[in-house]
Amino acid sequence: MPLGLLLLWLFALATRFWGLSRFPTLVFDEVYFARFARHYLAGVPFFDAHPPLGKYLIALSIWLGGGFHPWGYRWLNALMGSLIPVAVAVLTYLLTRRSPVALLSGLFVALDGLFLVESRYALINISLVLFGVVAQILWLWGLRYQGRARSLWLMAAGIAFGACAAVKWSGLGFLLGVGLFWVLQQRLPLPAEWKTTYQWWQMCLLLPFIAFVVYTLLWLPHLQFHPHQSLLELHRQMFNFHRSVASTAHPYCSPWWSWPLLLRPMSYFFQRVQTLSEPVPVIGPPLPMADTQWIYAVYALFNPPLLWLGTLATLALLPLGLTTTAGRFVLLNYAANLLPWALVTRCIFLYHYLPAALYSFMTLALVWEASHAWGDRARWARIAVLGVVVGGFLYWLPLYLGLPLTPQGFFRRMWLPSWI
């Protein structure tokens, strides 16, 4: 297991750092988040619709990275992104005590496209996911202890949950997931290593209190730059902003139910050029498609075979998943991170599916593990699944890394009309 985790991390590290400074321009929401981070360093007030921790981390990246340039504002996010596959493997191991299924879960995350793309730019969804997974690891680890030690681990989990919510409010889905799991565990058998579960006061009082305190404290640096605004007033402005965004405010808006089907990915960067020697980004009007020889594109696109197989595995696990500890955990967390979006009326995007997709990948690994009892035919099915996942990653890799493609090569990778 340790060697497997090291190899998994090195693979994730290499894919996330290779060519990190390729596009010397702000890509997608870097125009907001990287600039907001620079404002923190310069002491300039600004309005942001999300809590501040994600921008603090980008500011730290700029400060440690030597200035406001692509490497400076991207490297820390790439490092955090490389840790997510390892964290997912650890989380799966705590649930199953099976090294193969744990490493496979981490490998699936490492082979996903949207996790890779989000890790390579100064965006904030990666820090949300990392804090959320770490919080759940700490929460599960605390079940191995009793008394004061258990409360200390729960408090550590509360700190991570508070940090997760301080990146985006949607990070509360990770806390909701463990809450649902805890409620269900009251009536179902516990694994042998969990002699008891958390007490009601630990889950209903201590954990949310610690998370709330940490969330509040993380606002203090932001408030130093906005001395004339209260924390309550800032939250009122943020809430009103999100409420005012129409459901069709952006061409890449997509309903929550479409995410497991991968109906509407997003273009983060798109440039047409005549030669590979041209500097990118191109200054001036867009080149007509008829004169285009090469396309540089970065797409917020999950690994399509992996995502679709994860969706099928989640549906397949529903009838029997609640009979096992790991099945209960992944299904409840999948629901907790997806279904609340059905209540949101503003424009939402595919990247909001990142936390839920993570649990669908874990579900696929659980189904893979269970298929060992299905005979020899299942062995070939497992090989085929791994083959198409790896193949999908390699096939769409140019869209994840922004490598040059011919127009024909680009459109061959647009499998659905809604992808364009």
pLDDT per position as a tens digit, 152-185: 999 999 999 999 999 999 999 999 999 999 998 8
Confidence (pLDDT) at 195: 65
Judge whether 25 and 281 are in contact, CB under 8 Å: yes
The segments of the chain whose pLDDT lies below 70 read 195, 284, 373
Strand order in the sheet with 266-273: 266-273, 294-300, 404-405
Confidence (pLDDT) at 227: 82
Alpha helices in 67-169 (DSSP H): 70-96, 99-110, 113-119, 125-142, 147-165
Spatial distance between the Cα atoms of 278 and 289, rounded to a whole number of angstroms: 16
Rg (CA), the chain: 22
Confidence (pLDDT) at 372: 74
Confidence (pLDDT) at 228: 82
Number of domains observed in the structure of the chain:
1
Confidence (pLDDT) at 259: 97
Range of the domain at 94: 1-419
Instruction: Please tell me the pTM assigned to this model.
Output: 0.94
